[in-house]
Amino acid sequence: MNDIRSARRVLRNILRSRRTRREIAQRQAEFPRPRVDSIDVAVYFADTRTNLYQIRQWYAPLRELSAEHPVAIITRSPGAALTINEESGLPVLYLRKVTELEEFVDQQKLKIVLYVNQNTKNFQMFRYGRMWHTFINHGESDKMYMTTNQFKSYDYALVAGPAAIDRLSRKLWDFDVDKRAIEIGRPQADHFAGTTPYPHDDRIVVLYAPTWEGDRPAALYGSIASHGVALAEAVLASPSHRLIYRPHPRSGVLDPAYRAANEQIIAAIAAANQRDASAHHVVDDGPEMGWQLAAADVAITDVSAMVYDRLATGKPIIVTRPLAPEAEVDEGGYLGSAEWLFADRAGDVLGDVDRVLRDAEAQATLAHWARHHFGDTAPGSATRRFHAAIDHLAAEWDRHAAIHAGDAPERDSGDPLDDEDDEEGMPATGD
């Protein structure tokens, strides 16, 4: 039975992919090719729409960067291409075949290619040697993902701050951290903005932003099934608090119990708003990420990049302690001093919310770790460092291009056709 369901799913995905490719062909005018030699920086996103959250947070920093170094986004999935084209405000290319990728590379003198995840199709881009392949990630965290040996596949990695440097130095053998890892802070934090979907009143706003259930024992960081229902019910029962619930886009894709708990929280929020129209509790699944982190008085997150997105604001955080003993928690950094919420205390979360808002020691600890993970968090600082890192890599490209000016051009020998695109997709990483 499982084999039949899997076969049906594969067939559905193939048919959906073909329909989406036809739609792109019909809307070709919306995907104009950039002029020859006009693009300095390409963002390579080989994933599907399921994982668009990984690139969405980079839209605003990339648009700002493009004023100095023209940027284009390369996609390999037709669905992702359509959505990114609608959202990003940047040139988007759908290059399904490796031959199409080669043609684009031949037309542009790409200096830098940026990657936001570890999708296996990244290796189809790595074959081109005359550009800097640079990992920018989609968030800072102390997950095992942040020290994978895959970092060595890239020429450079743009990392958040001193904590990332320490982490890579401890975990990776023979990795030249001083040369290949460049600190830039969190440029996205300079763009945390947006209109809040509730009135500004005296309620204490609590953001609950859990991660998904994970796809292997060591990555079982998700808290919706273990903490989430009790936590949400406690906040919703208080007339002094407002809940913003932002589940991970992949919540419940593998675990039915996790999916059911997610649906239970959403239903509880709807019921609470029906009981009290002034509560304005929020279920947030929109594409914009930032205003939630800036607006909430207290954020509750799982062990994920969301911890560090919030840390970049310098505002109070509570972290859910994973229930699974296999889930790896690196307490060598901020998590060693985090305000932990254990599953058996999730129903008493409002006491923890009150404490982190008012306790001077908790506030001092938070400020210390914000500096350690992101360096200078003053507005605009991270953007300046991001631009400086790209300027440095572009200058290094110019230097190497001058040295090798007489060399023969690269030619690709890859398979000219990729597999069918899977519009449902599976996560490129555990994050």
pLDDT at 430 over 50: no
- Which pLDDT value is given to residue 427? 44
Determine contact, residues 262/375, Cβ cutoff 8 Å.
no
pLDDT at 196 over 60: yes
| DSSP per-residue string spanning 112-147 | EEEESS--TTHHHHHT--SSEEEE--S----SGGGG
Give the tokens for residue 61: 């920093």
Give the tokens for residue 255: 């675990």
pLDDT digits 0-9 by tens, 261-319: 999 999 999 999 999 999 999 999 987 778 999 899 999 999 988 888 899 888 999 99
The domain ranges of the chain are 10-185+380-403, 204-374
Tokens 């600082």 found at: 381
* Average confidence (pLDDT) over 160-172: 91
Q: In percent, how much of the chain has pLDDT > 70?
A: 89
Residues 6+ apart with CB under 8 A from 176: none
- Which pLDDT value is given to residue 411? 62
* Average confidence (pLDDT) over 114-118: 95
- Which pLDDT value is given to residue 382? 94
- Which pLDDT value is given to residue 425? 45
Cα–Cα distance measured from residue 312 to residue 100, given in angstroms and rounded to the nearest whole number: 39
Determine contact, residues 265/224, Cβ cutoff 8 Å.
yes
* Rg, Å, the chain Cα set: 22
* Average confidence (pLDDT) over 198-202: 94
- Which pLDDT value is given to residue 388? 98
* Average confidence (pLDDT) over 348-376: 94
Q: How confident is the model at residue 420 (pLDDT cuts 50, 70, 90)?
A: very low
Give the tokens for residue 6: 């899997």
Q: What is the mean pLDDT of the chain?
A: 89
| DSSP per-residue string spanning 29-48 | GGSPPPPTT--SEEEEE---
pLDDT at 426 over 90: no
Determine contact, residues 346/231, Cβ cutoff 8 Å.
yes
Q: How confident is the model at residue 38 (pLDDT cuts 50, 70, 90)?
A: very high
The angle that helices 2-26 and 78-87 make with each other, rounded to 10 degrees, is 50
* Average confidence (pLDDT) over 365-381: 90
Give the tokens for residue 343: 């599953």
Query: Half-sphere exposure of 20 toward its Cβ, with a 13 Å CA cutoff?
Result: 23
- Which pLDDT value is given to residue 8? 62
- Which pLDDT value is given to residue 9? 63
Higher pLDDT pick, 350 / 218? 350
Cα–Cα distance measured from residue 195 to residue 230, given in angstroms and rounded to the nearest whole number: 28
Backbone angles phi, psi at 291, to 5 degrees: -60, -35
Q: How confident is the model at residue 182 (pLDDT cuts 50, 70, 90)?
A: very high
Determine contact, residues 352/339, Cβ cutoff 8 Å.
yes
Cα–Cα distance measured from residue 215 to residue 193, given in angstroms and rounded to the nearest whole number: 32
Q: How confident is the model at residue 163 (pLDDT cuts 50, 70, 90)?
A: confident
- Which pLDDT value is given to residue 226? 96
10-185+380-403 CATH fold:
Rossmann fold (3.40.50)
pLDDT digits 0-9 by tens, 42-67: 999 999 988 998 999 899 999 999 99
Range with the poorest average pLDDT among 61-65, 202-206, 211-215, 331-335 = 331-335
- Which pLDDT value is given to residue 328? 84
Q: What single-letter amino acid sits at 315?
A: K
Q: What is the pTM of this model?
A: 0.76
Give the tokens for residue 204: 């204490």
pLDDT at 199 over 90: yes
- Tell me which CATH code domain 204-374 carries: 3.40.50.2000
Q: How far is CA 221 from CA 66, 214, 290, 302, in A?
A: 36, 7, 22, 6
What's the distance, Cα to Cα, between the start and end of the chain in Å? 30
pLDDT digits 0-9 by tens, 2-35: 566 665 665 666 666 677 777 776 777 778 889 9
- Which pLDDT value is given to residue 292? 93
- Which pLDDT value is given to residue 106? 94
pLDDT at 242 over 50: yes
Q: For the chain, how many residues are written?
A: 431
- Which pLDDT value is given to residue 424? 45
- Which pLDDT value is given to residue 413? 53
pLDDT at 384 over 50: yes
Cross-strand pairs, 208 = 245, 300
pLDDT at 417 over 60: no
Higher pLDDT pick, 262 / 214? 262
